[in-house]
Amino acid sequence: MTVTLRLSALLLGFFLDLLLGDPHWLPHPIRAIGALIAGLEKVLRKIFPKNQGGERFGGVVLVILVLVFSGGFTLLVLWLCGKVGLWLRFLAETILCFQLLATRSLKGESMKVYKALKAGDLEGARYAVSMIVGRDTQRLDEAGVARAAVETVAENASDGVIAPLIFLAIGGAPLGMVYKAVNTMDSMVGYKNDQYLWFGRCAAKLDDVVNFIPARLAGLLMCLGAGFSGFDGPNALRIFRRDRKNHKSPNSAHTEAAAAGALHIQLGGSNYYFGKLVEKPTIGDPDHPVEPLDIVRVNRLMYATAFLALVLCCGVPLLVSLAL
């Protein structure tokens, strides 16, 4: 498949994602990868010794097997489709690109929180936000729930939208699938607790590596997107430069910092996880309290950032290839 066709598939997939989101009736490759990770973990934990060295090596084997299967199976599917016809391969590439992007679903899940808060249903809002965050939500007041939703949209704009766009533009669906496999492994086993400290170490470190450049580019694009979407671009850049490292993860705070600056709110801070208070630095300045409308605002900012990333990843290369 030519570069022009591959990027065209990504463009079409992007707009299909905006139109359809993540229909629950449609089989999703990330769910299959999640099942693969869970199955392999059970097998590998039985095979390798239950000590530090055994768990670390088992974690490395998990990463290798999941990446080989994810990328290899995608390549095989596209190759078989290509044997039938270029049109079928283009269709398969388009569907995979659509499924690997999360712009519409990210907005949809966060807007459930907004609608519950707008209706005065704090318990419903707590439940809705518990579906998209890892922290304890029963202690959160209205501002805490809204802040959790804003943080989720801002953070996941990077690894749910911008980073997949970058990898899909570079290597098509196979590389995009490999990236999402890394991301899924980190979300499932990349924890620093007794169960996954050593077994998930390789997955967590690999996720840090593959997101290093995309996270920083996403933060910069969000600063630019702030201006295009009617928010404070200069302040977004100021807070991005100041607070983008205010997180234990080397990649998580870049888009959060840009969003906090654009909206003139403060994100981050301490939260309860599994009943334990975890101290975290704040991101941004509390120019005004976080409110439910900030969920709507951060989604507008996320969409502007996504369109800028689309132009950068697809529009410019397509125009260059057509000109040549």
* Alpha helices (H) in the chain, listed in sequence order: 3-20, 29-47, 52-84, 86-100, 103-118, 122-130, 142-157, 163-189, 201-210, 212-228, 233-243, 253-263, 293-310, 316-323
Task: Kindly state the average pLDDT of the residues 80-85.
Answer: 96
Instruction: Please name the residue that has the structure tokens 């290798």.
Output: 64
β-pairing, 267-268 vs 282-283, is antiparallel
**Is the confidence at residue 259, as pLDDT, over 90?**
yes
Q: What are φ and ψ of residue 140, in 5° steps?
A: -75, 135
185 contacts 203 by C-beta, under 8 angstroms: yes
The whole model's pTM is what? 0.93
Higher-pLDDT residue of 219, 25: 219
**Is the confidence at residue 75, as pLDDT, over 80?**
yes
pLDDT value of residue 164: 97
> How sure is the predictor about 145, in pLDDT bands with cuts at 50, 70 and 90?
very high
Task: Kindly state the average pLDDT of the residues 211-232.
Answer: 97
pLDDT value of residue 269: 85
Task: Kindly state the average pLDDT of the residues 45-50.
Answer: 93
Residue 278 falls in which region: left (phi positive, over 0), alpha (psi -120 to 50) or beta? beta
- Calpha distance 98→83 (Å, rounded): 22
Q: Which of 75-84, 94-103, 190-199 has the lowest mean pLDDT?
A: 190-199
Amino acid, single-letter form, for residue 160: G
pLDDT value of residue 275: 74
pLDDT value of residue 3: 81
pLDDT value of residue 42: 96
> How sure is the predictor about 254, in pLDDT bands with cuts at 50, 70 and 90?
very high
- Calpha distance 212→141 (Å, rounded): 33
Task: Kindly state the average pLDDT of the residues 70-86.
Answer: 96
**Is the confidence at residue 256, as pLDDT, over 90?**
yes
Q: Which two tokens stand for residue 123?
A: 């318990």
β-pairing, 271-273 vs 267-268, is unpaired
Q: Which percentage of the chain shows pLDDT scores above 70?
A: 98
Looking at every residue in the chain, the average pLDDT score rounds to 93
Task: Kindly state the average pLDDT of the residues 91-101.
Answer: 96
Smallest Cα–Cα separation from 154: which of 94, 234, 95, 239?
A: 239
